[in-house]
Chains A and B, each alone.
Chain A
Amino acid sequence: MYEVGKKGDAAMPLYENISEFQLDAFREIGTIGAGNGATALSQLMNRKVSMSVPSIKILPFAQVPDVVGGAEKLVAGVFTTVEGPAPCNILFLFPIVSAKVLVGRLMDCKYLENEGIDDVGKSALAEVVNIVNGAYLNSLGSFTSLHFIPSVPALAIDMAGALLDTVLAQIGMAGDHALLMETVFSEIEENVTGHFFLLPEAGSLEKIMEAIGVKG
């Protein structure tokens, strides 16, 4: 992992203008947004949901899949592009076991070990993510007074690396590193975890910082 905010580091031109202080501010907004997301998730599941304090990582692309346990790990991923003055990408990844428990809870059914999630279940999972994203983006929007317009979420169940590379390709033109804000949502009782990744596109982080008046 690179030391964040080190000015003029040629290896990370995309984020060279972001200071440590700004990243702290970004993390703080993220914490509040994720808190809203956890509340929404908790209401949906009718269970207590906890969240981790968001971590911010700047990683070379090749190392991103390791964050979720390796490129070949089977996961359910929901991808949302966010349009507006500060475009971002959101990828919500669930280990497949967690996805099954979560969908089973919502649909009042239980998936067997070798059973895949059916189309109705997939749609339910995408909708859950849509609601959590909405709660998160609302909070981000009210802090910054910027509009964040999410796309309809798209779901895929496959290798983590395969889902990530599509998302990373969106920001790949501008650099070789991804800035990830990661929050882990977990429900202790049945051990459901989900990784929420926010990947701002080139220039978006600067716009967000400008909007909240945090200078580097």
Chain B
Amino acid sequence: MAKILKIGMADLNVALSPEVLQTCGLGSCVGICLWDPVTKVAGMAHIMLPSSSHGKSVNDAKFADTAVPLLIDKMGKRGAHKTRLVAKIAGGAQMFSFYSDNDIMKIGERNAQAVKAALQAVKIKLLAEDTGGNFGRTIEFYAENGQLYVRTINLGEKYI
């Protein structure tokens, strides 16, 4: 059984094959998974918000725009090369629907968009995504083969 590294909200970590990165219960948050197919270095970030621009926070893992560069940097130190990295993402759901047109309720959608923009900014190709909807996801990312496993409560499980 490969070692599983758990990642909490607003956190990130790096794994080497055959380790597995896991984050449980993604709602509006987005799990960003990066992988270097040559050195089999994998990284995962669990971001909560799209942009760090209004915050006073010191935690770069919390925002899409700051988590991506930080994750690349950490992966680089473990042997990944930026130009080889590919990405898979999951999450960004809208868990609650309010009657009012509440902007904060679209946080999931905004998170997913911000993650894609952050990946584009550093020219990392997005291979697959499972985003949106109104359900939670638990994800596991395999450093060995770059497969991303997505589990839900009512909609089964799949690999992307």
Q: Please, how many residues of chain A have a CB less than 8 angstroms from a CB on the other chain? A: 36
CA gap between A79 and B96 in the complex, in Å: 8
Q: How many A-B residue pairs have CB under 8 A?
A: 119
Q: Pick the contact of B27 from A10, A70, A165, A175 — CB < 8 Å?
A: A165
In A196-212, which residues have CB < 8 Å from any B CB? none
Q: Which residues on A sit within 8 Å (CB–CB) of B96?
A: 79, 154-156, 163, 166
A164 cross-chain contacts in B, Cβ below 8 A: 9, 25, 27
- Chain A contacts of B97 at CB under 8 A? 154
Q: Does A152 make an interface contact (CB < 8 A)? A: yes
State whether A163 and B27 are in contact (beta carbons under 8 Å apart), knowing that A172-B48, A173-B49 are contacts in the complex: yes
Known contacts A159-B136, A162-B137, A174-B56; decide if A62 and B62 are in contact (CB<8 Å): no
Decide yes or no whether B138 CB sits under 8 A from chain A: yes
Q: Is A64 an interface residue (CB 8 A)?
A: yes
Q: How many residues of B contact A (CB 8 A)?
A: 38
Asked if B25 and A176 sit within 8 Å, CB to CB, the answer is no
Residue numbers of B with Cβ under 8 A of A are 8-11, 24-29, 48-49, 54-59, 62, 93-100, 102, 104-105, 107-108, 134-138, 153
* Residue A65 lies at the interface, judged by CB distance under 8 Å to chain B: yes
- Chain A residues 143 to 188 lying within 8 A of chain B, measured CB to CB, are 151-152, 154-156, 158-166, 168-170, 172-176
Judging by beta carbons under 8 Å apart, are A152 and B28 in contact?
no
- Pairs across A and B, CB under 8 Å, 28 listed: A13-B56, A61-B62, A62-B11, A65-B25, A74-B153, A151-B98, A154-B96, A158-B135, A158-B153, A159-B138, A159-B153, A161-B24, A162-B28, A162-B93, A162-B95, A163-B96, A164-B25, A165-B9, A165-B29, A166-B94, A166-B95, A166-B107, A170-B104, A172-B48, A172-B57, A174-B56, A175-B57, A176-B10
Residues of the B chain whose Cβ atoms lie less than 8 Å from the Cβ of A65: 9, 24-25
**Please, how many angstroms separate the alpha-carbon atoms of A74 and B152 in the complex?**
11
Nearest to B24 among chain A residues (CB) is: A71
Q: Is A72 interfacial (CB 8 A cutoff)?
A: yes
CA distance A156 to B10 in the complex (A): 22
A29 to B24, CA, bound (A): 34
Residue of A nearest to B26 (CB): A162
Whether A162 contacts B58 by the Cβ 8 Å rule is no
A145 to chain B: closest CB distance in Å?
Answer: 26
Query: Which residues on the A side are within 8 Å of B100 (C-beta)?
Result: 151-152
Is A63's CB within 8 Å of the partner chain B? yes
A-chain residues with CB within 8 Å of residue B153 when the two chains form the complex: 74, 158-159
CB distance from B131 to the nearest CB of A (A): 13
Asked if B62 and A165 make an inter-chain contact with CB atoms under 8 angstroms apart, the answer reads no
Q: Chain A's nearest CB lies how many Å from the CB of B31?
A: 11
A159 touches B24 (CB 8 A): yes
Contact between chains at B54 and A61 (CB < 8 Å): no
Residue of A nearest to B135 (CB): A158
CB distance from A108 to the nearest CB of B (A): 26
Q: Give the CA-CA distance A172 to B9 in the complex, in Å.
A: 11
**5 closest cross-chain pairs (CB), A and B:** A161-B25, A162-B136, A62-B8, A162-B27, A71-B25
Contact with A156, one of B57, B59, B95, B108 (Cβ below 8 angstroms): B95
Please give me the residue from chain A that is nearest to B7 by CB atom: A62
Q: Report whether B49 and A169 are in contact in the complex, using a CB–CB cutoff of 8 Å.
A: yes
Residue in A closest to B97 when the chains form the complex, CB atoms? A154
How far apart sit A71 and B102, CA to CA, in the bound complex (Å)?
25
**Given pairs A65-B9, A172-B49, A174-B56, 15 additional interface contacts (CB within 8 A):** A63-B8, A71-B24, A152-B99, A156-B95, A156-B96, A156-B134, A162-B28, A162-B135, A162-B137, A165-B48, A166-B107, A168-B48, A169-B49, A172-B55, A172-B62
